[in-house]
Structure 1
Amino acid sequence: MTSASTLVPVRPMTTSERTQRRRRRTGLGLALPAVLVMAGLTIIPIVAVLQRAISGDGRAAFVRLVDSPDFVQVLGNTLVWTVVSVVGALVLGHAAALLMHSKHLRGAGLWRGLFMIPWIIPNVVGATVWKWNFSIDYGLVNHALLQAGILSEPIGWLSDPTVVLYALAIVQVWFTAPFIMLMVSAALTSIPDERLEAARIDGAGGLAVLRHIILPAIRPTTGLSALLMVVWALNSFTIIWVATGGGPAGSSTILPILIYQAF
């Protein structure tokens, strides 16, 4: 003879649990429209790009891109552009952050605000200003270097194929270094002062503190910043297009410029 199964009574929800569930539903309901909009703005362009890429015109554009006689040169230009702009932004941004974090610097807030100006300026405006500055006739760069005795004659920064890519990379560094400074400055505030004071009491010099305490502490921020810089460098278009259009003779053409021309 089998015994009848017993039913486990369901515990009624408490007022606190009902309130939490109601709050979760309210939060999801409020966030749902924004989530749907962001999903639409993300998914629809991706689908449209893939649809265009696999179409006949898209495949023909890819063939033109790969078969371009300048394709290998463009890949080399892209590598040089990425390395110079990313390394320059990381070095300058870290140096500026360490300087802003120094206790010996007065008016750090003012200097930090001035250093952030390039990050605020639109790329088109900044690229146009630097195009004027690099002018061989009236540019401030040649004028300053000639007055300092560094140059004996003006240089065509945007017309010389051997220097144009490096000159434009300096502009990219000028635009992106403030972001690195902001990220690293935020990471420096998370380092306890007690750790730095203990290292100095033990006799560690400035370079030892930088190498063994500061740089390891901000390593995650440095890695994330470097990744973002690489992505931005590989997607750069405005600076080069406004300043040179990829010239002269394709010496400043990088992959985004070539893709734009191909498609």
Structure 2
Amino acid sequence: MSSAPFLLLSPALPSELLTYILTHHVHPTTLIICSSRLEFLASLSDHVLPETANPDGVAPDEHPAETSTSATTPEIQDVKQEQTRQQHRLLSSPLYQVATSRHIRVVYIPTVTHLRAYLTVFSPDDSKVPVPPAGFNSSGTYTPCIILYGFLEMHRDTSEWSAQGLGNSTSALVELGYRLSWQTIVIEPRKHSSAFPFEDSLRENVPFLSGGGRRLGPDAEAGGWTGRTVEVGRVMKRWFDFQLGEWDLNLNEDK
């Protein structure tokens, strides 16, 4: 992966996010979850527990012989097996994973206002997460990072869902990255409804100014915006390099 100081990676499931962090990152990396703790844990549970307990998608009261497998291609089976392997890894809690997780700072911030305030005053010295002991052996290989999960999603459906709003929040984030000389990574939650979650999220239009546009049509989600708009990708490209996360790179290699 590129060592660029500011990265926007392709969307990831909560389990993929945690596997990535536990594999590569160590103290003093900070993970900011842009939602409430309850929402994130519920999302993580939805992706990990059902699929791990029943990876083939067969309901407990169904007989396997009565379940059609005609739509299950080898590629889909490979994806399911890989997801199950990663999810089982999170649940099994190997020793290095437990040791590493104790030294990763995790913060839950549910609103844009709170996020900007937190980024402005952020300091590694304020962390209550213990420093690893001397000689601590971890598989982490990356430089210290601040990782935000759901940064764009936090702004959606608020008055800050605009080029101006995203720019104000990103400016605070970039300033923090430069001040600490840390790598800054933004990762969005993966949406199952989209075949191309990364491309779709970057091509989405937002109004230029906060409160400067409104949705057209009866369906607020599907309708366009009044006034001038710009793609999210153009807004974020001012600061960030775009890359596929290793969860997508591994998936492409398996095909």
- Coarse TM-score class (shorter-chain normalised): under 0.3
TM value normalised by structure 1: 0.25
Bigger Cα Rg: 1
**Which has the larger helix fraction?**
1
Instruction: Point out the structure with the larger strand share.
Output: 2
- Provide the TM-score with structure 2 as the length reference: 0.25
The structure with higher relative contact order (CA 8 Å, sep 6+) is 2
